[in-house]
Amino acid sequence: MSGFDQKSIARGADAARRTGEVRVILSPEKGRRPGLRVLSQSTRVFVVEDKLVHPVREIQELVIKLGAQISGTSEAANVIVTSIRAPKRLLKHISREDSEDKYVVNPEWILDSAERAVMMDPDDYLAFKSSKEHVFHLPMKRGRTPDTEVESGMPGPSTSSASATRPPRPWRDTRYACERPSPLQCINQGLVDELEVIRRERELTGDEFSKMAYMRALSAIKAYPYDLSKNPSQASKLTGVGSKIGKLAEQYYEKGCIIEAKIIRRDKAIQTMIAFNELYGVGPTAARDAYNEGCRTLEDVIKKGKSLGTHLTRSESLRILPDLQSKIPRPEVEAIAHLISRMMEKIIPGCQHTICGGYRRGKPESSDVDIVYTHPDNRHNKAALHRLLDDLRREGIVTHIVSVTTPGLDEDSTNVHVDVAQIVVLPPISPLTPNPRHRRVDIIFCPFSVYGAAVLGWTGSHIFERDLRIFCRKEGYKFSFTGVTRLSDGKVLDTPTEREIFELFKLEWMPPEWRNCDA
């Protein structure tokens, strides 16, 4: 194996000896530099020694050289390599569950991948064909609705404005997502979804650098309004995509999938972490830590106090969990906002509000309800949110208060007084909700002078906001939902409407339903 980095062989072989170390396996080794990136870092290979023609160590070294990881146990692997053909014999080395759930391939999968310098499709090298129908798929991230049919290139079904059907301007290859009209579902959505699978894996395994690369690439493709299947090599020419992900795009159009994404979709460790991450209050790092600490069920995570469970009893958390995991259809978002706004109107007549979040971007279903309130007369603002919470509690509508904060002390915000309440409500029985479910609601109350910034900041999408902040900094301003600050003198500018912010930065207006820059 000429040209092979001996240190990385030693490191990998060492890892292989440490059986069952999921901790190592799910945290990318810092500074690990494989010889090639043919297999992927998300591929964790267990090699069954029995009946191998090649020495096991040679196969393991090759796996590491190709950029994948060696797993010390079949349990921690997502691909199992074996020369054994007889199922009975194989089951002496790996569990039945692993044989059914994971890719069990023959060593030619690795040898051919090395020879052709491209990850071969494990389905073409199966040593053991599982009888199980694989139902694993990567659940969509929060707020997504996987099976909602939306016409290609069209934004969501939300608004009646003309902008809902046609992009606000012709496509241009730009660097910042906040300059690119991005629909809810794009014409190349299949490819975007596949890249999102890999981005999610990188996020959950803590590879920030690679996660960002996939995020930028999929966001650029999301905005590209032409059919890439007709010209797959065009993908790598888009700003933010690059040659590596461009090649994956070509693979997608050639094979109908990205092979790495296919392996990740079947990866139980990733599936489990995604389920943890969907618990309210459990971020990707906490999900990974929980997994590495041995949690395998949501109950395990809640027992460790890593979620909303810190505010509730365990049984309480588990009781409302299915409610919180289910998506909220648009009419129910509207009904909840109406209910809360009626109470707010009684407290401070003449207040204004905007339902933000995914709802405003046109999503057919949301994971929570985000409402921004203000009043043109600042004298009314004092303690408005606290009074609202008291009333909601009294009426039995709010069941849990997750947090009530006034950002202002952290470096991310201005000194403008903006109140944020994260609560759980149980709407009353009505024809729309005959069996009401607990719903997460974020209520924001801000001074009128920053209403535009608050609405812009709570509308998303995540990548839109991120690039907006970078764009603003380049122009000499800091953008936050608590206001726009001029960096030269620290002055917080008056931005009662979103449009004023776009104008200030000479950014072309982006209708909310075209801000769907995430997958």
Contacts of 431 (CB under 8 A, 6+ apart): none
- The answer to whether the CB of 330 falls within 8 A of the CB of 364 is yes
Q: What is the CA angle 207-213-216, rounded to 5?
A: 135
Q: What are phi and psi of 61, to 5 degrees?
A: -65, -40
Pull the structure tokens for residue 476. Answer: 């000499």
Residue number, 363 or 478, with CB nearest to Mn ion:
363
Helix (H) or strand (E) run with residue 332 in it: helix 330-347
Q: What is the CA angle 308-439-430, rounded to 5?
A: 150
Q: What is the number of the residue whose Cβ is closest to Mn ion? A: 357
Q: What is the number of the residue whose Cβ is closest to ligand OXD? A: 143
Residue 386 contacts which entry, ligand OXD, Mn ion, none (Cβ below 5-8 A, type-dependent)? none
Q: How far is the CB of 402 from Mn ion (least distance, A)?
A: 11
Q: How far is the CB of 360 from ligand OXD (least distance, A)?
A: 8
- The answer to whether the CB of 508 falls within 8 A of the CB of 168 is yes
Residue 460 contacts which entry, ligand OXD, Mn ion, none (Cβ below 5-8 A, type-dependent)? ligand OXD
Residue number, 218 or 263, with CB nearest to ligand OXD:
218
Q: How far is the CB of 4 from ligand OXD (least distance, A)?
A: 46
Q: How far is the CB of 64 from ligand OXD (least distance, A)?
A: 40
Helix (H) or strand (E) run with residue 420 in it: strand 419-425
Q: How far is the CB of 180 from ligand OXD (least distance, A)?
A: 18
Residue number, 207 or 442, with CB nearest to Mn ion:
442
Residue 363 contacts which entry, ligand OXD, Mn ion, none (Cβ below 5-8 A, type-dependent)? ligand OXD
Helix (H) or strand (E) run with residue 373 in it: strand 369-374
Residue number, 232 or 362, with CB nearest to ligand OXD:
362
Q: How far is the CB of 460 from ligand OXD (least distance, A)?
A: 6
Query: Which sign, positive or negative, has the C-alpha torsion 390, 396, 401, 407?
Result: negative
Pull the structure tokens for residue 42. Answer: 């998300």
Residue number, 278 or 370, with CB nearest to ligand OXD:
370
CA proximity to 126, closest of 141, 147, 138, 108? 108
Residue number, 248 or 420, with CB nearest to ligand OXD:
420
Binding footprint of ligand OXD on the chain (CB under 6 A): 142-143, 357-358, 363, 366-368, 370, 460
Pull the structure tokens for residue 105. Answer: 């391939």
Q: How far is the CB of 361 from ligand OXD (least distance, A)?
A: 7
Q: How far is the CB of 460 from Mn ion (least distance, A)?
A: 7
Residue number, 402 or 470, with CB nearest to Mn ion:
402
Burial of 409 (0-12, 13-18, 19+ CB in 10 A): exposed
CA proximity to 341, closest of 280, 297, 397, 303? 397
Residue number, 98 or 332, with CB nearest to ligand OXD:
332
- The answer to whether the CB of 344 falls within 8 A of the CB of 373 is yes
Binding footprint of Mn ion on the chain (CB under 5 A): 357, 368, 370, 442
Contacts of 147 (CB under 8 A, 6+ apart): none
Pairing of strands 79-81, 103-105: parallel
Residue number, 98 or 368, with CB nearest to Mn ion:
368
**DSSP string computed for 64-101:** HHTT-EE-SSSTT-SEEE-----HHHHTTTS-HHHHHH
Residue number, 181 or 460, with CB nearest to ligand OXD:
460
Q: How far is the CB of 355 from ligand OXD (least distance, A)?
A: 10
Residue 419 contacts which entry, Mn ion, ligand OXD, none (Cβ below 5-8 A, type-dependent)? none
Cis bond upstream, residue 99 (ω within 30): no
Residue 362 contacts which entry, Mn ion, ligand OXD, none (Cβ below 5-8 A, type-dependent)? none
Q: How far is the CB of 143 from ligand OXD (least distance, A)?
A: 2
State how far the alpha carbon of 269 is from the alpha carbons of 36, 64, 272, 443, in Å: 25, 20, 5, 35
Q: How far is the CB of 159 from Mn ion (least distance, A)?
A: 17
Residue number, 325 or 449, with CB nearest to ligand OXD:
325
Residue 442 contacts which entry, Mn ion, ligand OXD, none (Cβ below 5-8 A, type-dependent)? Mn ion
Can you say how many angstroms the Cα of residue 496 is from the centroid of all Cα atoms in its chain?
A: 31
Pull the structure tokens for residue 92. Answer: 């002496």
